[in-house]
Amino acid sequence: MAAYSAFPVHAAPGAEPKPATAATQAYLEQFSASLPFADREDFELATRGFVAAVPGNRILDAKGNLLRDLNVEAFFSQPVPPTVNPSLWRNAGLVAKSGLFKVSDRVYQIRGVDSANMTIVLGDTGFIVIDSLWIAEAARASIDLAREKLGNRPIMGVVYTHTHVDHYGGIKGILDEQEARARHVPILAPRGFMDTIASENVSALPAWARRGAYQFGFGLPLDAKGFVTTGDGPLYSGSGNTIAVAGTTSLIPPTHEITHTGEAITIDGVRMEFQLTPGTEAPAEMNIFLPDLHTLCLAENAGGTLHNVLPLRGAEVRDAKAWADYLTESLRLYGSRTEYLITQHYWPHWGHDSIVDYVSSQRDAYKYLHDQTVRMMNNGLTGFEIAERLTLPDALAKRWFLRGNYGTTSHNAKAIYQRYLGWYDGNPAHLNPLPPEEANKRYVDAMGGEDAVLNKAKDAFDKGDYRWSSELLSRLVFAAPSNEAARLLLADSLEQLGYQSESGAWRNAYLNGAKELRTGGPAPGIFDAAGNSFRNLPVSYILDLLAVRLNPDKALKAPMKFDLDLVGEDKPQSIEIRNGVLIHENAPAEKRNTRVVTVDRNSFIDAVQGRHVNGGLSGDDARFLERFGSLFEAPRTGFPLAAPRSR
């Protein structure tokens, strides 16, 4: 199948990655001049307590395929390449330090092996694991290393700090579900964990996945002109030296969701207190305090760089004020008793005073971003204008852990504005503008045509004014996608912005945009969401998923009403297709539909994927379900982001 693009896909001359221009080098020199590179404390913290590396520094799957290649020390010990922002290079080198590390007598961490950390607490007889990494193969290698160095101990409990897959996806690499159930291994998670995972993975997943590829740098090589870090942690893939999510993700549901701050649970002799922090870095997230070990785990609420109020991949916008308030609460509840601070990305901090200073400064940063965005908003500035002006005060901005290596003050300001005021900036001229392709054809025409715009863009590019050259060229590419000169110069322009970016997420987005403008994007495919991860969801979530895949034209011609009774499940669903929507609710006992389709779950999922159904149904019910299934369409993946989408 051809790649997505409206434009031809081939490696044209001039389509290779370019060096940093003189303008980019000058920009980065000036950018770095005021940063405290002499402050090397993080290098000490990131290596303190090193015990051992994963054997061979490689994560393999069962067939011996290389999933993660952690042999990156030589790469990151080079001097800063001119194509990487020195602040980001510093951060990338720090998170690349991988292996098993000792935090205190009973607390260890696996870091740098997968995107996030695995914390291992020594209980009286076994391990308590906080977060199980993204992929099972990395989790297995990590627990094997811990057993080799700390004793062959069983897993006595697991805590998931929050709902992001890099914190739970590896669970089946360390725990067999049946064995865990038989041994009554407690698996704890914050309130709303399963609901959040189900809902986050239902509606918008295809769009998030595509946008996430840009944010995380999937498809880029680990290279001075490519990927160096996500900004949040390492993700070095073995597949052809290109960053990709490879490996096995899994989930074992929690046995207990923590319901309130202050809830305390003892596992294997280790006392734990929990602080719920919903709406911070994830909709369901929590901090953990181990009073006897004087250890505070701040999950992903206070890591080694500024985080995202709204990640570039897209998400429900987070609450910067709540984030700050919860850190204030953490200090009040646990500050005086804390000697060790751990987080689920980045390195630990030691010593009460230093920890209180660190957490307070983190808190101040989110509070400052929130309060000053709202202040400027109330003076009439829009998100884009606030983003241009908002910088942290020097006392915060010069702390390495508040640099924008992942989140930035710029996109966080826009996110905070969005939380309060939404997409509309209040200017009626922006209320109903022409869509991009239509508007840009007219812009290009008004600016004197394709050649005139290209020439103006070249001038801007030659002056190093890459924000403006990118703006002009993006309009031209949307107006005239077959203009190869425009496309390639836009790629060059985005690439220089990528080289200049302090944020890994920005760098990855710019460089993936450049790459796809040069060589085309992934081939369009049909997202087979009902295939694996959805097969086991509660039926109401499956119906929610189907509702956002309904083809309205087909649905309008086929109104229908029935009860769906999945064999062995307790709640029949009443389903109605009307006015181009799918409505469903638990079927009220007193008012059942005249048609009741009783079917096993797998046959139902086959039907909604357009497959032939058997499952012991009558011919009439089978035809009915097949007709129902024909109303849905899987979303197309691989859609363009830096080029027109309408064709």
User: Which residues of this chain interact with Zn ion, rule CB under 5 A?
Assistant: 116, 164, 166
Judged by DSSP in three states, 587 sits in coil
Q: Smallest distance from the beta carbon of 52 to Zn ion, in angstroms?
A: 24
Best CA proximity match to 122, nearest among 156, 148, 145, 172: 156
- Residue closer to Zn ion (CB basis): 133 or 476: 133
- Residue closer to Zn ion (CB basis): 285 or 621: 285
Compute the 3-state secondary structure of the chain and give helix, strand, coil in percent, each to the nearest 5: 40, 15, 45
Q: Smallest distance from the beta carbon of 238 to Zn ion, in angstroms?
A: 21
- Distance of alpha carbon 22 from alpha carbon 29, whole angstroms: 10
- Distance of alpha carbon 88 from alpha carbon 40, whole angstroms: 15
- Distance of alpha carbon 372 from alpha carbon 6, whole angstroms: 42
- Distance of alpha carbon 361 from alpha carbon 393, whole angstroms: 11
- Residue closer to Zn ion (CB basis): 283 or 638: 283
- Residue closer to Zn ion (CB basis): 167 or 584: 167
Best CA proximity match to 483, nearest among 644, 335, 287: 644
Contacting residues for 435 by C-beta, under 8 A, at least 6 apart: none
Q: Smallest distance from the beta carbon of 163 to Zn ion, in angstroms?
A: 10
- Residue closer to Zn ion (CB basis): 42 or 166: 166
Q: Smallest distance from the beta carbon of 167 to Zn ion, in angstroms?
A: 6
- Residue closer to Zn ion (CB basis): 120 or 489: 120
Q: Smallest distance from the beta carbon of 635 to Zn ion, in angstroms?
A: 25
- Distance of alpha carbon 18 from alpha carbon 220, whole angstroms: 14
Q: Smallest distance from the beta carbon of 570 to Zn ion, in angstroms?
A: 35
Q: Smallest distance from the beta carbon of 337 to Zn ion, in angstroms?
A: 26
Query: For residue 481, which phi and psi values (nearest 5 degrees)?
Result: -60, -20
φ/ψ region of 615 (left if φ > 0, alpha if ψ in -120 to 50, else beta) reads left
- Distance of alpha carbon 87 from alpha carbon 571, whole angstroms: 54
Q: Smallest distance from the beta carbon of 33 to Zn ion, in angstroms?
A: 32
- Residue closer to Zn ion (CB basis): 126 or 233: 233
- Distance of alpha carbon 132 from alpha carbon 117, whole angstroms: 8
Sheet holding 581-586, edge to edge: 581-586, 573-578, 560-566, 596-599
Q: Which residue has the tokens 């004014």?
A: 465
Residue 130 · residue 258 · CB < 8 Å: no
Best CA proximity match to 50, nearest among 124, 131, 5, 108: 108
- Residue closer to Zn ion (CB basis): 298 or 454: 298
Q: Smallest distance from the beta carbon of 134 to Zn ion, in angstroms?
A: 8
Q: Smallest distance from the beta carbon of 51 to Zn ion, in angstroms?
A: 23
The structure tokens listed for 222 are 């680990």
- Residue closer to Zn ion (CB basis): 114 or 257: 114
Judged by DSSP in three states, 297 sits in strand
Q: Smallest distance from the beta carbon of 578 to Zn ion, in angstroms?
A: 41
Helices (H), 302-351: 320-334
Best CA proximity match to 504, nearest among 232, 96, 260, 183: 232
φ/ψ region of 19 (left if φ > 0, alpha if ψ in -120 to 50, else beta) reads beta
Q: Smallest distance from the beta carbon of 162 to Zn ion, in angstroms?
A: 8
Kindly report the length of the chain: 647
- Residue closer to Zn ion (CB basis): 164 or 370: 164
Q: Smallest distance from the beta carbon of 231 to Zn ion, in angstroms?
A: 11
Q: Smallest distance from the beta carbon of 236 to Zn ion, in angstroms?
A: 16
- The distance between the two most distant Cα atoms of the chain, rounded to a whole number of Å, is 76
Residue 613 · residue 626 · CB < 8 Å: yes
- Residue closer to Zn ion (CB basis): 308 or 469: 308
Residue 625 · residue 599 · CB < 8 Å: yes
- Residue closer to Zn ion (CB basis): 232 or 268: 232
Q: Smallest distance from the beta carbon of 282 to Zn ion, in angstroms?
A: 8
- Residue closer to Zn ion (CB basis): 140 or 164: 164
- Residue closer to Zn ion (CB basis): 161 or 493: 161
Between β-strands 560-566 and 596-599, what pairing exists: parallel, antiparallel or unpaired? Answer: parallel
- Distance of alpha carbon 122 from alpha carbon 492, whole angstroms: 51
> CA of 164: how far to CAs of 152, 160, 300, 404, 407, in Å?
29, 9, 10, 21, 16
Best CA proximity match to 421, nearest among 384, 390, 466: 384
- Residue closer to Zn ion (CB basis): 106 or 162: 162
